[in-house]
Chain A
Amino acid sequence: MNYIEDLLPKLGQIIAEDFRVPQTELSEVFEDYVFLFDAIYRALSLPDEGQKEVEEAIEEFIQLRQDGEWDTPKGLVYRIRDIVQRDERFQELIVQLTQKMLEDLSCQNHTYRSFYNSFFDYHYIMGCVANIFSSKDEEAISKAFKVLEEFLQGGKIVWELRREMENLVSKFNKEVNHAKQKA
């Protein structure tokens, strides 16, 4: 059973409440919920981690309403869209990065040493990608996107990408450790 679907009944009750708006505000409410339903529908094809984030966003929205605080669904729509778009962009980047890796590794001019270096560069890069994107560090994720895109557009060579990704991970790990110590 999908957890996002489990939240729909509560969301339905909020919609029923929102329908009590004055006639002049109706179009805004309809529009908000068309976009929200569309965003939720797209979110269902996300991997588990992404779905979990969407679930949390919906839960926060429901909680806010239950606490009597007013928030239109717009904020929630933008939040879900960001999660979906980030995932789509990530999937696209990973496909391109894998293609580039295969191209580089299958190059005819490789010596044993150059193949070995190239292979381990990509090996570390993939590890860094997994590390950064499985975190919730928005800043590190956004920087990783930028660095990867620059590389794929030919603006960097593989060891530069490896160095920058490793720097990102080490900075990110330091911050995590610092936060843990502080806690």
Chain B
Amino acid sequence: MKKLNDILPELGKILAHDFERFEITRMDFLVGYAKVFDKLLDVLMAPYPAEESAVKVIEEFIASRQKPYGEWKSPDWLVYSLKQVVEEAKRRQRRRRRKSLAEDELPF
């Protein structure tokens, strides 16, 4: 299984290229990537399988950059997707807890 730090250098390269290529929207990228980093912090603190899912999301983001410009995923898309990943991991954890509590309460 790939970990976050296996894939981050590639994300870093895309960030560097975005700052390099798009002079007019640099500040939008600055704000966008600040939100991405903030969300990645949430991923690191979220329960299993947040990191695994986040890696897939970032891979999708990176893969989109190999496609024509119109199909590129934006940092905002990444923020939104990482947010979903964190929420889903938290939901799963709650379900696991409820299930384990229910099993503990079984009379046999």
Contact = CB atoms under 8 A, between A and B. Distances in A.
B19 A9 contact: yes
Given A5-B26, A8-B26, A34-B41, A26 B16 contact: no
Interface residues of A, number: 27
A97 B82 CA distance: 48
Given A18-B12, A44-B27, A26 B37 contact: no
A12 B40 CA distance: 17
Interface string A35-55: 001101100100000000000
Interface stretch (B1-9, B61-69, B88-96, B100-108): B1-9
Given A9-B16, A17-B12, A34-B41, A41 B5 contact: no
A12 to B, nearest CB: 3
Interface string B42-77: 001100000000000000000000000000000000
Contacts of A17: 12
A17 B10 CA distance: 10
Majority DSSP secondary structure for residues of B touching A:
helix
A33 B5 CA distance: 16
Given A34-B34, A37-B37, 14 more contacts: A5-B23, A9-B19, A9-B20, A12-B17, A12-B18, A12-B19, A12-B20, A16-B9, A18-B12, A19-B5, A20-B12, A23-B3, A30-B40, A30-B44
Contact of B16 (A12, A21, A31): A12
Interface residues of B, number: 28
Interface of B: 3-5, 8-9, 11-13, 15-20, 23, 26-27, 29-31, 33-34, 37-38, 40-41, 44-45
A9 B30 CA distance: 11
A27 interface: yes
A15 interface: yes
